[in-house]
Amino acid sequence: MKQLYFMRHGQSEVNAAGIYGGSQPHIKLTQLGRKQAVLAGREFTGAPIDVIYASNLDRAQLTTKLFVEAAGYSDAIIVTDERLHEIDPGTMTGQRDQGFTKALKHMTSGDDPTSETPEQVFARVTSFLRDVEPLTRDKTVLVVAHAGVARVFQSLLTGVTLASISDTTIPNAEPFELPLDRLNEVVK
């Protein structure tokens, strides 16, 4: 990849309600979330996007569509990849959002067999990067997904632990560039 950008979906109904949506597929964007996605497309000043990889969850799919229309990226290739879905916090899904640090403790405790573990999330994101990197060596890529997945990308590509960035805020529909210095190490 020449460049890699990441964008969390626009505000969803569960974000607005302050509850964990996890990997539930049919969560809708709020009106604000739709506006955020359009504004992100209009204001995006990064390199022209060649390929967009989007989570299969509805909130990421609609964000991608609105962003592409507003940015005028009608020629961009759009690929849906289920490995980009949000982290599944198991029994925390539908509960009050207490922050990613609390969710991470829940995921690592082993107390909830329905929760995805950090190792499982790292494995699927690494698998995604391994598959995509050879296809996009000379491309500028945008990933549209979720806050938990954004933290995993950041951890993998910067070498910092997930716990150390668990309190990092990932704003809705604000694209940011990820460093690629460690990409070869991650995908080997």
Where does the pLDDT of residue 187 fall: very low under 50, low under 70, confident under 90, or very high at 90 and above? very high
The residue assigned the tokens 């990933």 is 143
Cα separations in angstroms, 172 against 69, 80, 121, 129, 137: 18, 19, 21, 22, 27
Q: Is the confidence at residue 6, as pLDDT, over 90?
A: yes
The single-letter code of the amino acid at 108 is T
Percent of the chain predicted with pLDDT > 70: 100
Give the pLDDT score at 127.
Answer: 98
pLDDT of residue 47: 84
- List the domains of the chain with CATH numbers: 3-187 (3.40.50.1240)
Query: Rounded to whole angstroms, how far apart are CA atoms 64 and 53?
Result: 9
Q: Quick one: pLDDT at residue 167?
A: 87
pLDDT at 98: 87
Of the candidates 176, 127, 123, the residue with the CA atom closest to the CA atom of residue 147: 176
The pLDDT tens digits for 22-52 are 999 999 999 999 999 999 999 998 889 999 9
Give the pLDDT confidence of 38-97 residue by residue, as tens digits: 999 999 988 899 999 999 999 999 999 999 999 999 888 999 999 999 999 999 999 999
**pLDDT-derived band of residue 138, with 50, 70 and 90 as boundaries?**
very high
146: tokens are 């979720």
The mean-pLDDT minimum among 2-16, 58-72, 121-135, 157-171 falls in 157-171
> Is 175 strand, coil or helix?
coil
pLDDT bucket at 131, cuts 50 / 70 / 90: very high
| Selected residue with higher pLDDT from 36 and 104 | 36
Mean per-residue pLDDT, 165-172: 93
Contact 151, 170 (CB under 8 A): yes
